[in-house]
Chains A and B, each alone.
Chain A
Amino acid sequence: GNSVTQMEGPVTLSEEAFLTINCTYTATGYPSLFWYVQYPGEGLQLLLKATKADDKGSNKGFEATYRKETTSFHLEKGSVQVSDSAVYFCAFLAGGTSYGKLTFGQGTILTVHP
Chain B
Amino acid sequence: DTEVTQTPKHLVMGMTNKKSLKCEQHMGHRAMYWYKQKAKKPPELMFVYSYEKLSINESVPSRFSPECPNSSLLNLHLHALQPEDSALYLCASSQAMEGREKLFFGSGTQLSVL
Contact = CB atoms under 8 A, between A and B. Distances in A.
Contacts of B21: none
Interface stretch (B12-20, B67-75, B77-85, B98-106): B98-106
Contacts of B105: 36, 43-46
What interface size band does chain B fall in? 20 to 34
B55 interface: yes
Contacts of B4: 43
Interface of A: 31-32, 34, 36, 41-46, 49, 51, 87, 89, 91, 93-95, 99-102, 104-107, 109
A32 B40 CA distance: 24
A42 B6 CA distance: 11
Given A89-B42, A100-B48, A100-B56, A44 B100 contact: no
Given A42-B108, A43-B107, A99-B97, A34 B102 contact: yes
A100 B33 contact: yes
Interface in B32-49: 33, 40-43, 45, 48
Interface of B: 4, 6, 31, 33, 40-43, 45, 48, 50, 55-56, 88, 90, 92, 97-98, 100-108, 110
A49 B43 CA distance: 18
Nearest to B2: A46
A42 B56 CA distance: 25
Contacts of B97: 99-100
